[in-house]
Amino acid sequence: MKAEIIAVGSELLTPDRIDTNSLFLTAQLNRLGIEVVRKSIVGDEPNNLQREFRAALELADVIIVSGGLGPTEDDLTREALAAVLQRPLVQDDEILKDIEEKFQRFGRVMPQINTKQALVPVGAIVLPNSRGTAPGLWVENGTKIVVLLPGPPSELEPMFIEKVIPRLEMRVTGARLNQRALRVTGMGESAVDQAIAPIYKGYRDVQTTLLHFPGEIHVYLRLWSPDQAAAEKRLDEMVERMRLALGESLFTTKGEDMELVVARELTWHGATIAVAESCTGGLLAERLSRQPGSSSHFLGGVVSYANELKSGWLDVTKELIDTKGAVSAEAAKAMAEGVRRRSGATLGLAVTGIAGPTGGTPEKPVGTVHIALADSEGVQEKMFRFPGDRGRIRGQAAVAAMDMVRRYYLHHPGRKAQ
Amino acid sequence: MKAEIIAVGSELLTPDRIDTNSLFLTAQLNRLGIEVVRKSIVGDEPNNLQREFRAALELADVIIVSGGLGPTEDDLTREALAAVLQRPLVQDDEILKDIEEKFQRFGRVMPQINTKQALVPVGAIVLPNSRGTAPGLWVENGTKIVVLLPGPPSELEPMFIEKVIPRLEMRVTGARLNQRALRVTGMGESAVDQAIAPIYKGYRDVQTTLLHFPGEIHVYLRLWSPDQAAAEKRLDEMVERMRLALGESLFTTKGEDMELVVARELTWHGATIAVAESCTGGLLAERLSRQPGSSSHFLGGVVSYANELKSGWLDVTKELIDTKGAVSAEAAKAMAEGVRRRSGATLGLAVTGIAGPTGGTPEKPVGTVHIALADSEGVQEKMFRFPGDRGRIRGQAAVAAMDMVRRYYLHHPGRKAQ
């Protein structure tokens, strides 16, 4: 089965907005074994919409349309589809009642304009919207399926998962997608490619894609196959070979965020952590607290942007900063030890560096970052030179800091909290 | 003039990749007064490519195509366009020489496969590529213009700016885009719409779009006009009326980030700030330190995720937390005063709340957030109930906290640092 995804909305044709619903929809469709052969973005204009629907009905078996289901005169998706399929629009009394009730619940009377949202092409199946007023529609035309969904991701995503996938699953036959998502840190994109190219070149049936993010390279392996067991086995074998080639730099094969990997290690070891950061400005703490439940192992930290705070909150002496500099191995170590001591955490993690664009010197250029990790027995430190702009340097530093914790537990697998 | 943008590449139809070239291209085209009426993404498949070109030639005056110009058999953009325009492909000796030289420069012999990149439809103008091997092409067909560009942004962007814009400029007549980007905080999307709908309904020529982000509503006003002075005047008038309708909740008419607005106020008043945060986990500090140069007014802060740190670093007594709770007006005030005193900053800003998904109670449900701001004379506090998931609650809390600083200076315009 082949699918086309159409995003409707003039705002999606501006330089400020991009259609991201199609990424979610593609992932979901692929998992069902449905390939996306085309995506398009059209404005709220009746002729263009109709032309788009006609072209899609020629090309694809399943057409997923998002947006243009609202109550205003700009919302024309329903009308355009009805025109193309030559089906009259009729009022669905249940939808109307449902919308009226939603307004009543907020103590308001439904504006006349919203009655439009109760119009459906004859023969369409209504997909109720639990998060908004616009219902979705499932319309079959011969062997073709057209699904209209509301544009906001918070409405589209649950509707697709709850109402559309079960209907599509009944239709699907044949190949399904099997995949792995490897993530690597501490290596550049070309180094990763050099390490794994000899492997993936031997698996021509597996689609291998490398993408780079601040501090991380993601490697996606995708294999379409009607035989899931064989495909899974083949991917497992490929992943094991890549694991050998990448070594410790590979930190997940399941697309997990670094903070999740670190949280698991800390929880497993019954350990807690506190952070002291300057150039990352709170980003490291924000990453470590992003996961629900992170308060069980993340105690907090200090953002010591001003040097005075490094002494007041972290006991880093003015003398040390004056002699070694705020961006130095010594300062990083003192910050890590200070935050560990002052917080009572098992581990103290510190980052100090120059995120730029100003503040660099020939000896310490922009991108110079020191990261230190203290435990009850001592403190280790490492210096990095990160490329890129302020945002990228901060992102890479936060990942490298979390990675130091991950590698610490790789080398101290039995270490328990003190 | 109307444009269509086509992105070619099967990798752009996976869940991992999105076409972002079209954002750059749209911004550039709009600046020339060329409206984008459709975007599409197609795989490397000859029939689909040809169908796409035919549809685009019907709809648009300018068609910008990115990708599919490489040397491999998957790269079919040139061939598909030649077929649709019914023009033979001929070898361009200059391109061939240029590609051969590029390989020689790296000490390599040009593989036979690359000769394909020297094929051009008869009558096409070659756009040299200074950053890669694939040249671009400018093809005119009657009144229509088709531009083929290489896919990598590092090649596409300079080629578009240097080679395509000057050619397009010669063709363009008439309308240019004039725009405003308003941002509002502290009001929901429907409240903003209710306030400004009576205004924008009187400006039918101005395209008004509302978008919502955590804690912010963005309002874009876009007016295409051949008379720039008149358009600017009309937008200014519209913005002034919206300013009256939105009041203090409007924080920029130039699309500025909240942290930039706050940084400007702090710098203007010669003030510094330090933060104490629990539920936002570092996000507030990260936002305040995101701008280059923020170290001149942002001193740092404490992420007191664990209650013990609230006393150790912020002098919030255990008794206060035991009697009032860590999420309370009293705790927020004590944190703000504590961080101000301990950091020596002009202002102390504190956030404490329940980001969820767990930890809520009937009295303090998930989304309850207290924000406090302390200066030399006292401390103010406000309670919020934010909707949404953990990420959205954290985002809204960070924006609301920064907004408290902005409003503080609105009400104390003459206040100088103590």
Read off the pLDDT of residues B339-381 as tens digits, 9 standing for 90 and up: 999 999 999 999 999 999 999 999 999 999 999 999 999 999 9
A294: DSSP letter: G
- Residue window 228-257, chain B: list those with CB within 8 Å of chain A: none
Claim to verify: residue B239 and residue B266 sit in the same structural domain: no
- Best mutation target among A212, A295, A390, A402 (most B Cβ atoms within 10 Å) is A295
**B300–chain A Cβ distance below 8 A for any pair:** yes
The minimal CB distance from A209 to the residues B11, B18, B20 is found for: B11
Residue A223 lies inside a defined structural domain of this protein: yes
For residue range B242-298, what is the model confidence (pLDDT) as tens digits?
Answer: 999 999 999 999 999 999 999 999 999 999 999 999 999 999 999 999 999 999 999
CA gap A301, A314 in Å, rounded: 10
Claim to verify: residue B144 and residue B230 sit in the same structural domain: no
Contact criterion met (CB < 8 Å) for A343 and B24: no
pLDDT at B416: 59
Between chain A and chain B, the number of residue pairs with CB atoms below 8 A apart is: 219
The minimal CB distance from B285 to the residues A43, A281, A308 is found for: A281
Claim to verify: residue A126 and residue A29 sit in the same structural domain: yes
**A362–chain B Cβ distance below 8 A for any pair:** no
Q: Give the gap in angstroms from C-alpha A35 to the nearest C-alpha of chain B.
A: 9
Residue B120 lies inside a defined structural domain of this protein: yes
Q: Could you say which of A224, A252, A280 is where a domain stops?
A: A252
Arithmetic mean of pLDDT, B213-231: 88
Residue of A nearest to B36 (CA): A13
The minimal CB distance from B26 to the residues A13, A285, A295 is found for: A13
The CATH number that applies at residue B130 is 3.40.980.10
Contact criterion met (CB < 8 Å) for A289 and B305: yes
Residue of A169, A178, A146, A15 whose CA lies nearest to A69 = A146
- B415: pLDDT confidence band, cut at 50, 70 and 90? low
- Best mutation target among A29, A39, A280 (most B Cβ atoms within 10 Å) is A39
Q: Name chain A contacts of B209, Cβ cutoff 8 Å.
A: 10-11, 14
Claim to verify: residue B80 and residue B65 sit in the same structural domain: yes
Q: Name chain A contacts of B344, Cβ cutoff 8 Å.
A: 308
Residues spanned by the domain of A206? 177-252
Arithmetic mean of pLDDT, B229-250: 96
Q: What tokens were used for B48?
A: 């689909």
**B24–chain A Cβ distance below 8 A for any pair:** yes
Contact criterion met (CB < 8 Å) for A16 and B306: no
Claim to verify: residue A192 and residue A327 sit in the same structural domain: no
Residue A417 lies inside a defined structural domain of this protein: no
Q: Give the gap in angstroms from C-alpha A233 to the nearest C-alpha of chain B.
A: 23
Per-residue pLDDT of chain A (418 residues; tens, 9 = 90+): 899 999 999 889 998 888 889 999 999 999 888 999 999 999 988 899 999 999 999 999 999 999 998 887 778 999 999 999 988 899 998 888 988 888 887 778 888 888 888 899 988 899 988 788 789 999 988 889 999 999 998 889 989 988 898 888 877 766 677 889 999 999 988 889 899 999 999 998 887 877 778 899 989 898 878 888 999 999 999 999 999 999 999 999 999 999 999 999 999 999 999 999 999 999 999 999 999 999 999 999 999 989 889 988 999 999 999 999 999 999 999 999 999 999 999 999 999 999 999 999 999 999 999 999 999 999 999 999 998 889 999 999 999 999 999 999 998 877 655 4
CA gap A4, A2 in Å, rounded: 7
CA gap B108, B106 in Å, rounded: 6
**B299–chain A Cβ distance below 8 A for any pair:** yes
Contact criterion met (CB < 8 Å) for B342 and A40: no
CA gap B234, B32 in Å, rounded: 20
pLDDT at A174: 64
For residue range A284-305, what is the model confidence (pLDDT) as tens digits?
Answer: 999 999 999 999 999 999 999 8
User: What is the pLDDT of chain B when averaged over all its residues?
Assistant: 91
Residue B417 lies inside a defined structural domain of this protein: no
pLDDT at A198: 94
Instruction: Tell me the CB-side half-sphere exposure of residue A26, using CA atoms within 13 A.
Output: 24
Burial of A341 (0-12, 13-18, 19+ CB in 10 A): middle
Contact criterion met (CB < 8 Å) for A306 and B343: yes
Claim to verify: residue B220 and residue B136 sit in the same structural domain: no
CA gap A37, B41 in Å, rounded: 9
Q: What tokens were used for B415?
A: 């206040």
Q: How open is the CA angle B61-B66-B67, to the nearest 5 degrees?
A: 145
pLDDT at A98: 87
Claim to verify: residue A134 and residue A228 sit in the same structural domain: no
Q: Name chain B contacts of A39, Cβ cutoff 8 Å.
A: 12-13, 40-41
Q: Does residue B312 carry a pLDDT above 60?
A: yes
Burial of B27 (0-12, 13-18, 19+ CB in 10 A): middle
Q: Give the gap in angstroms from C-alpha B222 to the nearest C-alpha of chain A.
A: 10
Claim to verify: residue B109 and residue B150 sit in the same structural domain: yes
Claim to verify: residue A271 and residue A382 sit in the same structural domain: yes
Q: Does residue B106 carry a pLDDT above 80?
A: no
Contact criterion met (CB < 8 Å) for B42 and A42: no
The minimal CB distance from B36 to the residues A13, A220, A300 is found for: A13
| Chain position carrying tokens 């560009």 | B149
Residue A418 lies inside a defined structural domain of this protein: no
Claim to verify: residue B160 and residue B210 sit in the same structural domain: no
Contact criterion met (CB < 8 Å) for B306 and A299: yes
Q: Name chain A contacts of B303, Cβ cutoff 8 Å.
A: 275, 282, 285, 289, 300-303
Q: Could you say which of B156, B171, B186 is where a domain stops?
A: B171
Residue of A nearest to B313 (CA): A313
Contact criterion met (CB < 8 Å) for B300 and A305: yes
The CATH number that applies at residue B279 is 3.90.950.20
Contacts of A270 (CB under 8 A, 6+ apart): A416, A417
Contact criterion met (CB < 8 Å) for A303 and B305: no
Q: Name chain A contacts of B181, Cβ cutoff 8 Å.
A: 16
Q: Could you say which of A106, A140, A171 is where a domain stops?
A: A171
Residue of B358, B354, B357 whose CA lies nearest to B278 = B354
Q: Give the gap in angstroms from C-alpha B305 to the nearest C-alpha of chain A.
A: 5
- The SS3 of residue B360 is coil
Residue of A nearest to B221 (CA): A11
Q: Name chain A contacts of B292, Cβ cutoff 8 Å.
A: 356-358, 390
Which helix (H) or strand (E) is B341 found in, with range? Answer: helix B329-343
The minimal CB distance from B42 to the residues A38, A280, A293 is found for: A38
- Residue window 32-61, chain A: list those with CB within 8 Å of chain B: 35-43, 45, 48, 51-52, 55, 59
- Residue window 156-215, chain A: list those with CB within 8 Å of chain B: 207, 209, 211
Percent of chain B with pLDDT over 70: 98
Q: Name chain B contacts of A24, Cβ cutoff 8 Å.
A: 15
The minimal CB distance from A295 to the residues B301, B305, B344 is found for: B305
Contact criterion met (CB < 8 Å) for A306 and B286: no
Residue of B nearest to A288 (CA): B281
Say if residues A92 and A120 touch (Cβ distance below 8 Å). yes
Q: Give the gap in angstroms from C-alpha B207 to the nearest C-alpha of chain A.
A: 9
Residue of A389, A395, A374 whose CA lies nearest to A258 = A395
Q: Name chain A contacts of B20, Cβ cutoff 8 Å.
A: 18
Contacts of A214 (CB under 8 A, 6+ apart): A388, A391, A392, A394, A395, A396, A399
Q: Name chain A contacts of B14, Cβ cutoff 8 Å.
A: 26, 30, 36, 207, 209, 220, 222
Q: Where are the alpha helices (DSSP H) in B122-212?
A: 153-159, 165-171, 189-200
Q: Give the gap in angstroms from C-alpha A81 to the nearest C-alpha of chain B.
A: 18
**A100–chain B Cβ distance below 8 A for any pair:** no
CA gap B197, B190 in Å, rounded: 10
The CATH number that applies at residue B222 is 3.30.70.2860
pLDDT at A45: 87
How many domains, in total, are found in chain A? 3
**Residue B325, Ramachandran bin (φ over 0: left; ψ between -120 and 50: alpha; else beta):** left
ipTM for the predicted complex: 0.71
Q: Compute CA distances A163 → A158, A166, A385, whole Å.
A: 8, 6, 49
- B174: pLDDT confidence band, cut at 50, 70 and 90? low
Residue B22 lies inside a defined structural domain of this protein: yes
CA gap A25, A248 in Å, rounded: 34
CA gap A281, B123 in Å, rounded: 56
- Residue window 121-160, chain B: list those with CB within 8 Å of chain A: none
Claim to verify: residue B281 and residue B396 sit in the same structural domain: yes
**B348–chain A Cβ distance below 8 A for any pair:** no
Q: Compute CA distances B362 → A63, A159, B359, B368, whole Å.
A: 44, 29, 10, 11
Residue A416 lies inside a defined structural domain of this protein: no
- What residues pair up with A375 in beta bridges, in sequence order? A378
Longest CA–CA separation in chain A, Å: 82
Say if residues B99 and B56 touch (Cβ distance below 8 Å). no
Residue B243 lies inside a defined structural domain of this protein: yes
| Chain position carrying tokens 């007041």 | A312
Claim to verify: residue B244 and residue B270 sit in the same structural domain: no
